[in-house]
Amino acid sequence: MPVKEVILDLRLILLKNSKWLLLLVIFSFFIFLRFYDLENRTPFSFDQVTNAWAMKDFILDHKLLLVGPVAKGNSGFYVGPFYYYYLSIFYFITKLDPIAAGWAAGVASIFTFVTLFYVANKVFSFRTALIAVLIHTVSYYAIGFDRIQWPVNFIFPLSLIIFYSLYKVITGKEKYLLLLAVALGFSFSMHFTAVFFPIMILFSLPFFPKTIQTLKYSIVAVLLFVIFLIPNIIYELNSKASSSKHLSGYINTYYHGFHFVRFIQMVTDAFIEAEATIFFKILKPVKYLIYPLFVIIFYLKKPTKNTFTICYLFGLWFLIPWIVFTVYKGEITNYYFSLTRPIVILILAYLFSRMFEIKNVVVKIIVIIFIVCYSFFNVSGYMNEKMQGLSGRRNNVIKAIESKKKIPFQEGVPESYIYYIYTIK
């Protein structure tokens, strides 16, 4: 075959599959940013050390883990153990070496990438999905978040799956109640903010199809969800102090009722994930506009049941955490709102995608320039960040061993765990 024909055929293949090639490029860059320099850029501090000791109990001492980490401080109630089971795979492979933390975080981030692309593609379009995963790939905040090994890694993808399941159920696909139950069950092994999801489901119930199929799948879904609670139930039955008492005491301590002034004060926190994702300080006020702007552009353009459902569910994702933390007087951290970040990214991706539809070359050039600048400043910010990862912790332990110094057990201290695995017989 002549060379010219081969080149022409190759060009046709590339053009035909250009969108998938672009996705592959983005994914390759994503993998690089999540796994690059794993030893130096894997955080290993209090939470990771606590998880590592739990892995030692599970893998080395064969202690059955029926509950996960404590849900909140000294509250006395615990999330489920399924994140520990996931983490144990990596600690087993690495023989308890803490580099397992970096691999566990990285693999979780791949699940997040795939989930984000799938949902964005199904709900909106391929172009919106590409933009969504690009934003998530290069975001300084997302990179740092994804590289921390902690259960919160899974709140992002599970939040997306729960949103998508509700969307499918409301639009007549009752079988997605089963996926909803599984995602909800896993979420209760990740973080206490999973309590927001049942409230969101409750406010979605009026829109569920009133059919026999809904009832049948609902019964099975409830049973599926209960299965995920069995380890916690067994733990409670064998525990002297019931966590339900701890939970009720915790609520009584930190509940102060709804106050409208407090509600207004919480608006900054309600959209804090949008602020972190937008990145540029000068664009900080935009975080308050993205949802109403989305509703105006998305729903008013084509007011249908599907577009209403998406806008309604997006609204719940912002409003429920906002209201719940309004009546809460305890400490609030930005990652408590991490379940809203996938919604923020979907909205931003959709708005950028719509801008590409405008038949004006200048607008398209401006959007491309912004995306390029956004990518450059976010990635360069992360790459230039100095971090103390595992390597520094290891060096401290190696020096101590060489000088024949013992490092005793200290809760949450990285060196004490590394010393243990280096000196274990």
Phi and psi (nearest 5°) for 70? -60, 140
- pLDDT tens across 347-383, in order? 999 999 998 888 888 888 888 899 999 999 999 988 8
Let me know: does 389 contact 39? Beta carbons within 8 Å.
yes
Percent of the chain with pLDDT over 70: 90
Phi and psi (nearest 5°) for 255? -95, 125
Percent of the chain with pLDDT over 90: 52
> Distances in Å between the alpha carbon of 26 and those of 32, 135, 137, 341, 383?
10, 10, 7, 19, 17
Average pLDDT in the 51-74 region?
A: 85
Q: Which of 60-64, 163-167, 209-213, 305-309 has the highest mean pLDDT?
A: 163-167
Confidence of residue 281 (pLDDT cuts 50, 70, 90): confident
Average pLDDT in the 91-112 region?
A: 94
Work out the angle at residue 106's Cα, subtended by the Cα atoms of residues 84 and 58, and round it to the nearest 5 degrees. Answer: 20
Confidence of residue 184 (pLDDT cuts 50, 70, 90): very high
Please say if the pLDDT value at position 170 is more than 60. yes
- Please report the pLDDT score of residue 162 as a whole number: 96
* Orientation angle between helical segments 390-402 and 99-123, nearest 10 degrees: 170
- Please report the pLDDT score of residue 6 as a whole number: 47
Return the higher-pLDDT residue of 52 and 254.
52
Closest residue by Cα to residue 23 from 121, 140, 168, 154: 121
- C-alpha 179/C-alpha 304 separation (Å) is 25
Please say if the pLDDT value at position 26 is more than 60. yes
- Please report the pLDDT score of residue 174 as a whole number: 93
- C-alpha 101/C-alpha 90 separation (Å) is 8
